[in-house]
Structure 1
């Protein structure tokens, strides 16, 4: 009798799930592999928004790169200055160390100098303390040492003294080195603080110079306006005086004393005037001389004022030219640095391409490799 296995509830659920996944896969495949829906069914506003976001991100990246380049130039200039100062400080310390060695660490002052003294043989004394040696015999032979015990004690004491002196000298040298390093670090910190202070003072000086120019221009504008207002008031006063003189003239008032002018006692009407006497001529010549002196002083004042204005304009022009030259120098330096960086990047790119071609691109895919893709929707 055959024994058939009865399907359980769990088996039916798994079969239903497999069938549902198969239907979903077929529907998904029909949507994905449909060329018309894939090419035409595109969300255009969403793509445009993505393009705008990408463009904004690129602009922000360019702005950051520019700010980073400017900061890098400033830091590079500061680093060059600090490096030059550090080199100068190291050179000064090396000179001081050489001078110290020349004065206090000479060769002839070393403890072991007698071992390699070139004149040691010249300083040996003849043997004169051995009674057994006659006048016709030889001197001390190899292996003999009459003052061995005494010399051994002296050498032990000297060796102990040398060891103690070495310990003291090493300790003193270590203290001196530590003090020199502390002084060097303090000098570096003071130098960095000085550089920052100079930078701050430069910015403050530029700000004050701009404020002074602004105040000077405002003062010139105010003075010009006041001068124009005074000239208008003077012209109105002259017109009023001229109208008043015409109204109160002898011709209109019919004054019998027509020979005298209404402008003053020393003024006469031309077509009725018969001439001046000697006193009037003297006064006229004196007034004429005073007018000439006043006119000369006025011309001198105008020339002095014109010279001052020209000097001021020349100074402003020189300052503008100096700032222009400095700006061009900075631009040339920046262009040179950018060119060097571009050359370095081009060299790195060439090396990268060479490495990529020689290492990575060594296995060309075939049609069999491409045919295994796009077979399912997953």
Structure 2
């Protein structure tokens, strides 16, 4: 019976790995055996990446130029529309200005229209129309010294003069009345101010008098209180002094009571500021203890002197041993230096023999073409 082997996932992965390694070997061989890439060193992927970057930059620049052109077209259209609106606004303003001139700035409304009026000859009065004696066009219209309207002007000037005089009289009367009223108001204000000042002065004097009386009464009360307090404090001080003198005379400090110096911390403890000294029994104990301390100190000094002598002897022996060991070490170092020098001389002689052998035997043959042809046959 024939058995068929089924390809599993592991086999497929192995086949894919083998194919991948084969492709990598082919690519490696194409790179290694390419004389141009090997000598010049051109990085093709880098160049391709540069080309792609250049192309992307060019596309981006074209996109920006296209967007800029579209924006310019849009701005141009907007400028055309705004220019049309501006022209329309100017035309409307000009129309309104023309209408205003036709309504409110007509030539006949001007102040100097009588000089430039083309119809002036048609509307002017006939010569000498004011005195009731018209004359012809070729006659003289005015003579030196003539004043045809003298009487009328004289009447008008007299009326105007009378009106001015009457107005001045009325203004003078009203000014005098106003001045009298102002003087009366000023005098009333002065009298009211003086009366108010008098009242304020009277009130101030009364307040000062009352304040002085109050201060006087307050000071008298303070003086009496102070005097009473001083007498009380003097009596208290005399009583305190008497009590202090009695307490000092009857205190344990002046009576030198030894029991007051005992401390609650122990029977051998005493209170420093109340301690008055030792009695005879305590002095004997103190001297005996002091003598014992002197004997112990003397024994301690003798022990220390003995120990110092032993340490000095030990240090001297150690110094002698160290000096002897230094001499022995110096001898050993000199012997080792001599041996090392002999070994170096022997090594130098061997090195010279080796160099001579390499120069005369090993390095005298020249490599042939067969030697170089065995290299660079595979990618590995």
**TM-score under structure 1 normalisation?**
0.28
Structure possessing the higher relative contact order (Cα contacts under 8 Å, 6 or more residues apart): 1
